[in-house]
Structure 1
Amino acid sequence: METCRNIRKKLSAYQDRELGPAEKDAIEAHLRICEACRKEHEALLQTYRILRSLPEIEATPGFSRQIVEKATQRQEPEWIRALGAAFRLLPAPTAMVTLAIVGLLTGALLGNFLTARQFDPLPPFSASHTDKALTLASVQVFDATPPGSFAGGYLRLATYTRETRHEK
């Protein structure tokens, strides 16, 4: 079975007379004893006969040169070629814009957190606060957006308008 596989791989080279005398003799000896490989060889011979019977087509002048140029030419999709040099420079501007957006958002959030004490409606607790105020402040921890949390800062940032001014 392995021998048949090797023989079948070499049948085309055998037909084209590309093999040395030892390989040629080995293939001929195998074809005499193996019917399956002999049928494969006959099918290959039939294919060669059909191809030889076809009329030869005359190539246009410069056809070979065009084929070589297309084969060696770097193939890029049409839309990449249309963008040209701008596409090659696109990663740098994209990275810069992304970095600028992240920087602006981070700055806005950090700025809001740093100035949150100015807008905090409840001043720091002291001994003079009533029990009711302390209870209210402790319950606010369970709010969906507790004061001083990331969510609370984002909510203040998102809903902040110039008309809304909190006093100290």
Structure 2
Amino acid sequence: MGIFMILATIMIPTQLLMIPTYLLFSRLRLIDSLGAAIVPWLSSAFGIFLMRQFFLSLPKELEESGLIDGANRWQVFSRIVLPLAKSALAILAIFTLLGSWNDLVWPLIAINNDHAFTLQLGLANFQGTRRTEWSLLMAGNVVATLPLILFFLIAQKQFVATMTLSGLKG
């Protein structure tokens, strides 16, 4: 029953959750700070579901063998299960990074201080009502995209290994 509740929360549109989230963050005094843009992305129903499905796919024998060898539950998790979960954690990190990096609507609501604007908010401010500085906007888009491209180039070997190993079974 619990997994169906988590899946049901994935189906709720994010626009419906913005007012309760704003009220919660205003009570926590996180509005007008970068924390308002970061904290909502720390957990998600998709991440919980993804990691749950990955951990269910691991054979129970791995856990049992660690316990037989004298390790406690934390040691089994940190030394056996967590290293195997690197690919799932990498995929979750990629999705979370891309989602939070490209988000415009939530930071537009939660951040009013121009010193705490995200890149997407700053790019939106380049567009005026009557005139748009296209050269500045395109340069800003390159600057906003460059860290993601560099991140991919640095971690390209890990991405390819993740995609290669994800198709193997047994």
Task: Verify same fold: TM over 0.5.
Answer: no
Return the structure number with greater relative CO, CA threshold 8 A, min gap 6.
2
* TM-score using structure 1 length: 0.24
* TM-score using structure 2 length: 0.24
Structure 1 or 2, whichever has the larger Rg, is 1
Larger helix proportion, structure 1 or 2? 2
